[in-house]
Structure 1
Amino acid sequence: MMEGRNVGMLGRWKIGRRWVLGIILTFQLSNIPTVVAAQKRAITFDDYIALKTVSDPQLSPDGKWVAYTVSTPSLQDNRNVSRVWVVEVATGKSRQLTGGPGSDRQPRWSPDGKTLAFISTRDSGAQVWVLPIAGGDARKVSSLADGASDPIWLPDGSGLLVVSDIKWPPHQEIDQRNGSYPTEARIWTELMWRHWDDFRAGKRQHLFRVGVATGTATDLTPVDHDVPTIATSGDGDVTVSPDSKDILVAMHADTSVADNTNVDLYAVDGPVLRRVTTSPGADNTPRYSPDNHWASYLSMERAGFEADRVRLMLMRRNDGMTEGANAIDATAGWSLSVGSYSWCPNSKCVYAVVEERGRDKIYRIDIPSFRRSVVVSSGVNTSVQVAPDGRTLVYLHQTNTQPAEVWVPRSRRSICRRSKNSASSARWAIRCSGGRRSRRASTPRADIRSST
């Protein structure tokens, strides 16, 4: 079982002689003005509101860098401001890549590792921007009316897939009604008109292809459905085959979305969507194996369940086609659920996040023997990425005394390192996954280079 070293932000803080944390696991302590106090005290609202969040680690194609997002809350503006950072895997040295107006999130490496795409609100809403890693200014790529999210590079580097809302149907009752007495009131006679706090009436979520050179956006799913699905969704519901020829999406094709959990995978074949899976439960989170021989996905077996056991399923690809009729359950006989997963570069294994006894462990599942072994057992681990060597992992790790940070397991010794993301001075400590504690006093200085 491997142990990890920290290459993310900071560990936990000492106030007086007491360790203070464990209130919120997913936040990052940083820049607390009264962190070194003369006497013991309880954590305050000002301490809490200063917490930063580390999220969405993305490993570069050569395995040398990790891009991730750091969100800083602003009490004055009543919002979070997010920036894209990169950290070097070998040294743990980090730097800020983006700055300026708006927020930046969802960094994604180009296939050649020379460009980073990300979503930014700096100009005309949330749009796709690209930034050359070697230096230069960020360039706006998309100009979709309702913005863009969830960018995925095409393997040939020619464009990106993004998700965007569109007006649906194009002509609505409110368009004819507004005249002398305009109003925003709407008449809607079907579900789902709202999903949590997102009002869905009068719009659909569609998948677009955006050309990197031209910025031209093409709707790949011009149907009366949300693509990918909004309800009963997974951990990324769009994937592209390594040869750039095939796209799989998770879509809820039933007319009754509000009380039906039957989500299936569909292949995007031109303007037609070809159904691939047929189980009555929710199928989502599709992935292609790097050798293009398998298509995998997560599946709940029973209809009507939003919290059934989640299985890892494999489908063989024959003559470039994904066949779902004879899908194989890679977790048969298991009582645990798979939350997210990533393929090994050689396509001989999958690294999966599995909830077990109150922890999100990382398992390795060998293909095709389906032998399972625990790789990381402590804490809560998410967003697993696999380096080209097939052994080095990058993931977010947190415990009840440690907020989420970017971790890399390197050896069976526990090696923890803090990257220089904070300009504050603090005593800190990181408890490594083997239970040993690395402790140091430091006054880091952030190496910040903004190219935007």
Structure 2
Amino acid sequence: MRSCFQLLVVSVVALIALSISSAAAAPPPENQGLQSSDLSRLRSVGAVELSPDGRRIAYSVTMFDQPGRPYSQIWIMDLATQKSARLGGEKERTGGPKWSPDGKWLAYFGGEGEKVGLTLAQADGSGATFLTQVSGSNSPLPGQGSSVAWSPDSKQIAFISSTPGPETAEASGDPMVIMRYLYKPTAGEGMTRFNDNRRLHIFVVDVATHQARQLTQGTYDEHSVDWSPDGKEILFVSNREPDSDEFFNYDVFALRVADGAIRRLTATENNEYAPRWSPDGKTIAYAATKRGLTDRETTMEDEHVWLMDADGSHRREIGGVIDNRESHPQWSPEGNAVYFTVQERGSTHLVRLPVSGGQPEIVVKDLGFVAGWSVGKGGTVAYGFATPRDLPELYVKTGATAPRKLTDL
């Protein structure tokens, strides 16, 4: 019996060895699926900015081919030829493209040597010039809108940068006194338990002279900027609660560029996000919740799109016709509609909603996820789109026409 068992074991081992050797000798299958080595070759479209004349698209591509966290690079595509040119060197990190209103310049975040900050290039990507350094903060400020806004005459750029807060001296002293602590820190916050005690403020840089000046000060953070069409004011969002680390409550404010005077547009117990001026400067679109005491980690209530008059009056929820979570809105260049994305049953659609009332129009309704997007004249939209099989690629669509795929990353 024992010899039979030994023979059985030897036979099984021989069969396993034969199977392994046959598999090793066999040619690899034509389609062996995703391999770990493929991860470094992944590319995806992030931010998308359609130029004011509709001739070019600036878009960022997220890369995974270097150690550490993913990084992005900006490309500019000529829509007539569908040819793209990269801003900066082969491994240079760039992001956050923003066209000037006259379409002659593209502002973005890049570097010069050891410096990181706001950079300017011509419309075709040439002649890149470093404007001014920019710094951030690891303080958790969810739901931020744009950190860059052009003046309507294309001569100045408002941007967000940080300065040391009042706790900095004690936190760097001997002994160190820690006053602000991070809850569940992420990689974006530096993977540290300690707040860096910096505050975000509004600055303006002159395009011609490269001279930057600080417009806001104090112990509060200001962010999510948009410059008024008449050039006089800059919208921003700030949490002005007495203890802003404990109570999460964004409100909308307007900053007068000439003298730094601030007027408050909302004073609600709920949160307002990412305000945007209408093209005629009479109305402000923004996203908001309704209930108070919103958690900064997870907003349990769906954000909807709202409108208010330029003086903060006549606030009305226009996104309530859609019972799903909505993104920060963008105005159509004509000022007769706002665009935003809506999450629905595993997909993210791009929606157009008339500001005068009426039913929403689903502009991009394919199964998948709309990433960055930008609205141009005549109903043209450029956007990144991910399908269940592919990471986001760049598309363009005008009116009711079929979308056109522009990249194959």
TM-score of the two chains, using structure 1 as the length reference: 0.73
Matches within 5 A, 1:58-207: 58-75=49-66, 77-99=67-89, 102-133=92-123, 136-144=126-134, 150-169=147-166, 172-174=169-171, 177=173, 186-190=176-180, 196-197=186-187, 198=189, 199-207=194-202
Contact 1:343 1:350 in 2 (8 A): yes
Q: Which residue number corresponds to residue 305 of structure 2?
A: 312
Contact 2:60 2:72 in 1 (8 A): yes
d(CA) in 2 for partners of 1:353, 1:411: 17
Q: Which residue number corresponds to residue 345 of structure 2?
A: 357
Question: Kindly tell me: are residues 262 and 92 of structure 1, through their superposed partners in 2, closer, same or farther at Cα, counting changes over 3 Å?
Answer: same
Matches within 5 A, 1:33-72: 39-72=30-63
What secondary structure, in the 3-state scheme, does the structure 2 residue paired with 1:173 have?
Answer: helix
Question: Structure 1 residue 262: deviation in Å?
Answer: 1.4
Contact 2:272 2:288 in 1 (8 A): yes
d(CA) in 1 for partners of 2:52, 2:230: 16
Question: Structure 1 residue 53: deviation in Å?
Answer: 2.5
**C-alpha distance after superposition, 1:69-93 (max 9, x if no partner):** 1232234x43545322111234432
Matches within 5 A, 1:265-304: 265-269=252-256, 270-304=259-293
Contact 2:394 2:405 in 1 (8 A): no
Question: Kindly tell me: are residues 380 and 146 of structure 1, through their superposed partners in 2, closer, same or farther at Cα, counting changes over 3 Å?
Answer: closer
Contact 2:395 2:405 in 1 (8 A): no
**C-alpha distance after superposition, 1:312-337 (max 9, x if no partner):** 11112xxxxx2224211112354222
Contact 1:312 1:329 in 2 (8 A): yes
5+ residue gaps, structure 2: 1-27, 138-145
* Aligned residues: CA RMSD: 2.6
Question: Structure 1 residue 344: deviation in Å?
Answer: 1.1
Q: Which is higher, the Rg of structure 1 or of structure 2? A: 2
**C-alpha distance after superposition, 1:389-424 (max 9, x if no partner):** 2x11111111211210111124656464444x76xx
d(CA) in 2 for partners of 1:122, 1:273: 34
Count residues with an aligned counterpart: 362
Q: Which residue number corresponds to residue 381 of structure 1?
A: 370
Question: Structure 1 residue 141: deviation in Å?
Answer: 0.8
Question: Kindly tell me: are residues 135 and 411 of structure 1, through their superposed partners in 2, closer, same or farther at Cα, counting changes over 3 Å?
Answer: closer
Question: Kindly tell me: are residues 191 and 73 of structure 1, through their superposed partners in 2, closer, same or farther at Cα, counting changes over 3 Å?
Answer: closer
d(CA) in 2 for partners of 1:144, 1:365: 35
Matches within 5 A, 1:359-438: 359-378=347-366, 379-389=368-378, 391-410=379-398, 412=400, 414=402, 416-419=404-407
What secondary structure, in the 3-state scheme, does the structure 1 residue paired with 2:31 have?
Answer: coil
Contact 1:92 1:417 in 2 (8 A): no
5+ residue gaps, structure 1: 1-36, 179-184, 229-236, 317-321, 423-452
TM-score of the two chains, using structure 2 as the length reference: 0.80
Question: Kindly tell me: are residues 187 and 142 of structure 1, through their superposed partners in 2, closer, same or farther at Cα, counting changes over 3 Å?
Answer: same
More helix as a share of residues: 2
Query: What is the identity percentage for the equivalent residue pairs of Structure 1 and Structure 2?
Result: 25
d(CA) in 2 for partners of 1:280, 1:108: 32
Contact 1:86 1:96 in 2 (8 A): yes
Q: Which residue number corresponds to residue 7 of structure 1?
A: none
**C-alpha distance after superposition, 1:347-387 (max 9, x if no partner):** 11111211122211111111212432222211211333111
What secondary structure, in the 3-state scheme, does the structure 2 residue paired with 1:49 have?
Answer: helix
**C-alpha distance after superposition, 1:95-124 (max 9, x if no partner):** 223226641111221221111111113323
Contact 2:60 2:73 in 1 (8 A): yes
Question: Kindly tell me: are residues 211 and 347 of structure 1, through their superposed partners in 2, closer, same or farther at Cα, counting changes over 3 Å?
Answer: same
Say which structure, 1 or 2, has more relative contact order (CA 8 Å, 6+ apart): 1
